[in-house]
C-alpha cells in the first residue's frame, strides 16, 4: 500500500487517515477481502453532487437539459475510465488472479467503479469538502473546458442522424456477449451499418449503455473514414 499511498499523494494530493478505507477502495470483488462495491455506491452519489455543482457554476445561463447532458458526459463510465487510466489508478488496483490475467486493470467498468469507490472512501475518511477537492483535482480542466451541450445528444441519436443525412441505412446493434453474475452483468454489443466495412463494439453494465458506447465509437469511425 505504500506505493499506492505515494501515488495518491503525488497525483491527487491526498493522504488517508484510515488506510483500510483506501485499501478497500482499491479492492475489486474478484480479490479476497472486502470489495469496493459499497464505496462505489457512495462515491457515485458524491461525484454526482460535486459535478452538478461545478457544471451549474460554470454554465450560468444554461437550461436544466443542457446541464444534465454536461454532467452525464463527465460522469459516464467511459469518461471515468479514461480519467482513471490517465491518473494511473489501474496500476494500484487489487484484483483476483483471473482478472489480473485478463487485464482487469485496463477494463473500463473496473476503472470507473474503482474511481468512484476512491471518491467514496475519501468522503468517509475526511468529509465532503475533502472529497470535492480530490474530485476537482482528478477532473482538472475538464470541469471548465466543457463541450457544447448540443454535441452531447444521445450517441445513438447522433449516429442515426449522421447516417440519415447521408441517406444510409440504420445501424444494427448485435448482442455479442453477456458476462458476470446476474446482479452484476456486463454486456458487449457490436454496432454495424449496412454497406460499411467497419464495426464498433461497446461494453456496459446494461445493454443500453453498451449500445450507446458502440454507437459513439461507430460514429467516430465513420467520421474518420469520411475524411
The C-alpha cell of 149 is what? 451541450
Q: Among 40, 44, 186, 188, which one carries the catalytic annotation?
A: 44
116 is catalytic: yes
- Gyration radius of the chain's alpha carbons: 19
Residue bearing cell 449500445? 211
Q: Which of 209, 190, 182 shows the shortest CA–CA distance to 81?
A: 209
Q: Which of 139, 134, 141, 112 shows the shortest CA–CA distance to 12?
A: 134
The C-alpha cell of 52 is what? 452538478
Q: Could you tell me if 193 and 169 are in contact, meaning their C-beta atoms sit under 8 angstroms apart?
A: yes
Integer angstrom CA distances of residue 109 from 60, 104, 186: 32, 9, 8
Integer angstrom CA distances of residue 10 from 6, 137, 138: 6, 11, 12
Q: Among 40, 116, 186, 216, which one carries the catalytic annotation?
A: 116
44 is catalytic: yes
Residues carrying an active site annotation: 44, 116
Amino acid at each position: 500500500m505504500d506505493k499506492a499511498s505515494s501515488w495518491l499523494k503525488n497525483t491527487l494530493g491526498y493522504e488517508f487517515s484510515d488506510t483500510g478505507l483506501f485499501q478497500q477502495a482499491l479492492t475489486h470483488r474478484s480479490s479476497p477481502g472486502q470489495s469496493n462495491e459499497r464505496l462505489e455506491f457512495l462515491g457515485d452519489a458524491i461525484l454526482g453532487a460535486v459535478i452538478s455543482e461545478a457544471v451549474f457554476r460554470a454554465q450560468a445561463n444554461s437550461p436544466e437539459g443542457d446541464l444534465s447532458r454536461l454532467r452525464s458526459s463527465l460522469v459516464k463510465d467511459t469518461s471515468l475510465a479514461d480519467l482513471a487510466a490517465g491518473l494511473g489508478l489501474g496500476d494500484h488496483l487489487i484484483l483476483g488472479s483471473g482478472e489480473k490475467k485478463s487485464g482487469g486493470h485496463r477494463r473500463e467498468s473496473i476503472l470507473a467503479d474503482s474511481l468512484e469507490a476512491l471518491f467514496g472512501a475519501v468522503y468517509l475518511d475526511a468529509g465532503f469538502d475533502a472529497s470535492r477537492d480530490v474530485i476537482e483535482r482528478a477532473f482538472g480542466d475538464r470541469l471548465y473546458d466543457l463541450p457544447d451541450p448540443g454535441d452531447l445528444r444521445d450517441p445513438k441519436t447522433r449516429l442515426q442522424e449522421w447516417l440519415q443525412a447521408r441517406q444510409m441505412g440504420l445501424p444494427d446493434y448485435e448482442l455479442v456477449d453477456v458476462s458476470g453474475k446476474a446482479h452484476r452483468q456486463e454486456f458487449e454489443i457490436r454496432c454495424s451499418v449496412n454497406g460499411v466495412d467497419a464495426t464498433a463494439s461497446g461494453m456496459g453494465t446494461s445493454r443500453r449503455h453498451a449500445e450507446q458506447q458502440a454507437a459513439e465509437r461507430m460514429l467516430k469511425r465513420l467520421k474518420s473514414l469520411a475524411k
